Structure formats: structure tokens, C-alpha cells
Amino acid sequence: MSENLHKTKGIVLRTVKYGETSIIVLIFTEKFGIQSYLINGVRASTKKGAGKANHFQPSAILELVVYHNDLKHLNRVKEFKWSQLYHHIFNDVPKNAVSLFMVELLTKCLKQPEPNEDLFHFCEDAFIHLDECSLPVMANFSLYFALHLSSLLGFRIHDSYSAEKHFLDLQEGEFVAKEPDHSHFIEGRLAEHTSDLLKVMQPSELEEIKLNHETRRRLLSAYEIFFALHVQEFGTMKTLPVLREVLG
């Protein structure tokens, strides 16, 4: 199968140095799902190479022209430019911590190169909202992203919370009336807050959800367990300790 040129947007997930001047970049693309690309010359000290490596920071949203061959694990990028110029994510420590959590969560969940345009557009929109949002919105953003990401990946939590159904069974992804016969659940206020977060349709609404640091920490831990129960070889989140510290 020959290589064809395609235009696609992409969200940078991970960059690894390769050789003297090149990088290998893992990118979640709109057109092809998750892909690895070899990009030559972007780390060169010449004027031509200067500044180009900045495009490949985690969470960057790019316009790409790529060579694509389904049989290759590593394709090449012909052209790239910013699709979105962030004002805060790369230099604001708390927003950067949230964005890196989002990137790690995506990287752990996207295993196969399958296109998913709805998921891509949700993620693109989420990073743009994070860059522009207020401090109270940012404080709850990682919780919102995790819950809504899971629904787009096919294992949503069904919001049937009530005074009677006040246990959230993380294994089954639903609110239940009786304490589950395993340890993977949250209850009471934590379950109620999760129900509130599930009702959020636009990130700006997160400002209305008042949570303290300890509650956010416990919810993030519960959602990490939820993902580990539903995504094979999920492991543990390396960005969580940093995020907990920053949002404290």
C-alpha cells in the first residue's frame, strides 16, 4: 500500500528525542486516531530548526499534513503549524498540571489507531476551554474531563443517583441502593458530587460545583480506580500526585 498525503488536526500526547535532531511524536489525530510520527530536523540549532520543537509539547493542537500508510507503525509529517495558540496552558503551572493529567489519561486509554472524531472534538474543545477558564472552573476540570471521557470511550457512569441510590459502584458504573460486595465504590456526598459533575454539559458550569481539596483528591482517586477497572493495563496515573499538590 502506497503512502498518501492527508490533512488532519492532531493533539500531541508524547514526544521522544530521536537521533541528533529528530523526534518521534505520539499524536491523537482527528482522521486516524492515535498515531506515531517521525519528524526530522526540529531539534536543529539552525534558524530553520529553532522554535519548531515547541510545537510538540504535550496538549498542543496542530494542523498537520501527514503521510499515511495503514501498514506502517511509524509515519511521517510533511507540514505542521499551530491550530490553537494557547495563552496559559504551557506557562501556567496549575493549568499545565491539569493538561498533563488529561494527556496521560488519553494516552492510557487510546490503544488502537482507530478514528473517533467525536472523541477528538471533545478533547480539542476541552483543552481550549481549559486554556481560557477561570480558577474555580479549572479546579474541577480534571474531574469533568475524566467522567465525560469515559462516556465517549463506552463505559459511562449512568446518572441515576438519588437519596435511595447513594452508592456509586465503580465496577458496574452505576448508582445502587445497597453497598456493593466489593471495595470499588464511593458513597454519600462523593457519589452525589459525581452525579452533579455528570450533569455538567459545558465547562463554565463547573464554577457552580463547590468542592474542597480533600473531596477533589478522593474523587480523583475513585475515578482512577474506575478507569483501571475498565481499561486493560491501565496501571496508575503518574500525573495525579502533581495534580493533587497543585490543586491544593
Q: Hey, is 75 helix, strand or coil? A: strand
In tens digits, the chain (248 residues) has pLDDT values of 457 899 999 999 999 999 999 999 999 999 999 999 999 988 876 655 557 889 999 999 999 999 999 889 999 999 999 999 999 999 999 999 999 999 999 999 999 999 999 999 999 999 999 999 999 999 999 999 999 999 999 999 999 999 999 999 999 999 999 999 999 999 999 999 999 999 999 999 999 999 999 999 999 999 999 999 999 999 999 999 999 988 87
| pTM, to two decimals | 0.95
Residue closest to 58 by CA, chosen among 17, 27, 21, 91: 27
Residue closest to 242 by CA, chosen among 223, 218, 217, 214: 217
Set out the domains of the chain in order of their start, with CATH numbers: 1-85 (2.40.50.140), 88-248 (1.20.1440.120)
CB-based contact 225:185 (threshold 8 Å): no
Quick one: CA dihedral 47, 63, 120, 72, positive or negative?
negative
**Rg for the chain, CA atoms, rounded:** 19
Neighbouring residues of 46: CB distance < 8 A, sequence distance ≥ 6: none
C-alpha span between 101 and 103 (Å, rounded): 5
